[in-house]
A and B are shown apart, each in its own frame.
Chain A
Amino acid sequence: MSVANRPVHRPLSPHLQVYKWQLTSVMSILHRATGIALSVGALYLATWVIYAASNPTAYALFQSFNTSIVGRIVLGGWLFCAFYHLCNGIRHLFWDAGYGFELKDAYRSGWIVVAVSLIATVVSWIVGLRLV
């Protein structure tokens, strides 16, 4: 094998393990992760509507899972993903329009997204748990 064709064992970029964790990259990864979670959760929510169109017994069975601790965690987790993906999605739309690219602005908008999505999540959890 010639030198040029020998496999390269050097670390190739992007090489996640050697990068220092930072807000901007963590938020980017989280945007994808919440997007995937929301898509899977959408199927669960679609199933809810489908059960509502079936008979009362089947719906009661689905609702007993919804109101269980596991069900609450699933719905509460979906709400966090929705609020985060929504807020960070708006941040992305501003970038698409050409605004907020300065490092200082990217960090400021990032912290605003973290704060707003966490506040919305906590409020929704408190209201949701009081209604059950």
Chain B
Amino acid sequence: MNSDLRTPLARARGLGSARAGVHHWWAQRLTAIALIPLVVWFAISLVMMSGADYGAVRAWIGSPMVMVLLILTIAVGLHHGQLGLQVVIEDYVHGDGSKLALIVAVRFVAVLFGLAAIVAVLRIGFGS
């Protein structure tokens, strides 16, 4: 006898009442693991480059290895930040409208700054 109140299909899909399953949880953990080496590298770079002049910082950003790591850090870091802020907003903002508006605003800002920074890295690397 099946004591589960859900249908067998619902159980097989494993998506729960929010219809999203553990996707958000997994994405947060996956980006967290990816960020362990990226943040160590970025923190060391930040210390080394914090006083760099125009020429030095562009030469650093423009090298192929740094371009790849920097774009990864920007994309994965902002995605992780956006996922984390969503949880904070869901915990503390209780109005449905303001909750949705804040989550959408956070996503828009993250994508805007992320894309602008990635375009900046590519412009420095490929020179235009």
Contact = CB atoms under 8 A, between A and B. Distances in A.
Interface of A: 32, 35-36, 38-39, 42-43, 45-47, 49-50, 52-53, 56, 59-60, 63, 66-67, 75, 78-79, 82-83, 86, 89-90, 92-93, 96, 120, 124, 127-128, 131-132
A43 B109 contact: yes
B117 A50 contact: yes
Interface in B77-128: 77-78, 81-82, 84-85, 88, 109, 113-114, 116-117, 119-121, 123-124
Given A53-B124, A67-B51, A131-B51, A75 B46 contact: yes
B84 A35 contact: yes
Interface size class of B (residues with CB under 8 A): 35 or more
A128 B50 contact: yes
Contact of A46 (B43, B50, B113): B113
A79 B46 contact: yes
Given A46-B114, A93-B32, A52 B78 contact: no
